Amino acid sequence: MTDQQDHDGTRCVRAGLPEPAPGEPFLPGPVFAAPYHLDPWQGPSAAANGYGRPDNPTRRLLEAAIGELEGGDCRVFASGQAAITGLLLAVLRPGDAVVLPSDGYFPVRAFATDTLAGIGVRVVFAPTVGPYPSFEGVRLVLLETPANPGLDVVDVAALAARAHAAGALVAVDNTTATPLGQRPLDLGADLVVASGTKALTGHSDLLLGYVASRSAAVLDLVTAWRTTTGAVPGAFDAWLAHRSLATLDLRLARQSTNAEAVAALLAGRSDVDGLRWPGLPDDPAYPVASVQMRRMPGVLSFDLGGADRVGRFLVAARLVAAATSFGGLHTTADRRAQWGDDTAPGFVRLSCGIEDPADLVADIAAALDAAGPAGPSVDR
């Protein structure tokens, strides 16, 4: 097979690896350096590395790996929030307009309201599934699909065509799907942005973000912003992330299998409301997700009727940890309202880990039974 024909597991294992050399490891260890030796006459132009902020070989290998999976050139950042805010500030100028998801990641919405609007950017919010405003005069349309935490899905190709017709750029937050779930650049997006903290690296031990694109001009803006602000990940985090990519296909397969099993359990319980998972045939997102996505995420959401019942459920569960973020090896649940997100008090985002499906389903069922019925809703 050629590289383009390799399946996901092969691509993940080999992404970004240097050419084999006798006596060298498959993936070289992290290079820890702030300055490097310079050529006394030519200075930094004589070698690839001059100073650690813009230059690091470990970081470049990770960027090559993620770029292969996303289908474009990649720049990694110190966190997902650093990546998305860096993209917005690099591309937008006072007087520009940006369309953002009203049901997307809450800190991005807060950043837009507090910072972008404050520097003269016109911020417009629209639900992931619409309706969308006119894109005339809009500089950038940011989509998040599946949306976090509500898991709505939008037709990227259709929205990209409409935005491009009006002269707007399109960026897609690919955090929940990962590049194995969908490749937005293949669907017509100009940019991909994502948090690598979550399912991409999957071990809950590092912070990472990235921006990918096939447009050198746009990526140059992002690169310049990153170099100027210094929002780079450390060498060890970059190495850990690259190491973790090798198991991405295996992890996502088990997480998706677990999400399907948990969704089937929850769908049959009368004490669970508002279940969302794009892989359910009766989910509102299924018609688009089943065509657009290559695999379903390991994340689902539901409502247990109140904060107290969520607490009782988490205390009773043996295999579900109370934690924010998602996409790790261990199943976690997050009551989003506790972070100031505009969700109901009993709303839960559950991220399936890689436990055995039968064990996980049995544990969640027992914990729901132990949690008892929902009492009066108490917002905490």
pLDDT band, residue 341 (cuts 50/70/90): confident
pLDDT band, residue 4 (cuts 50/70/90): low
Q: Give me the pLDDT at residue 1, please.
A: 37
ω into residue 149 within 30 of 0, thus cis? yes
Q: Give me the pLDDT at residue 243, please.
A: 98
Q: Give me the pLDDT at residue 377, please.
A: 46
Q: What is the average pLDDT value for the chain, to the nearest integer?
A: 96
Query: Does 30 have pLDDT greater than 70?
Result: yes
- Provide mean pLDDT across the span 78-91: 98
- The CA distances from residue 359 to 258, 353, 365, in Å, are 10, 12, 10
Q: Give me the pLDDT at residue 2, please.
A: 43
Domains of the chain in start order, with CATH, are: 3-245 (3.40.640.10), 248-371 (3.90.1150.10)
**Whole-model pTM?**
0.95
CA dist., res. 219 & res. 212, Å (int):
8
Q: Computed from CA positions of residues 362, 367, 372, 373, in that sequence, does the dihedral angle turn out positive or negative?
A: negative
Burial group, residue 91, by CB count within 10 angstroms (0-12, 13-18, 19+):
buried
pLDDT band, residue 374 (cuts 50/70/90): confident
Using one digit for the tens of pLDDT, what is the confidence trace for 53-77?
Answer: 999 999 999 999 999 999 999 999 9
Q: Give me the pLDDT at residue 378, please.
A: 45
Using one digit for the tens of pLDDT, what is the confidence trace for 287-329?
Answer: 999 999 999 999 999 999 999 999 999 999 999 999 999 999 9
Q: Give me the pLDDT at residue 376, please.
A: 55
Using one digit for the tens of pLDDT, what is the confidence trace for 233-289?
Answer: 999 999 999 999 999 999 999 999 999 999 999 999 999 999 999 999 999 999 999
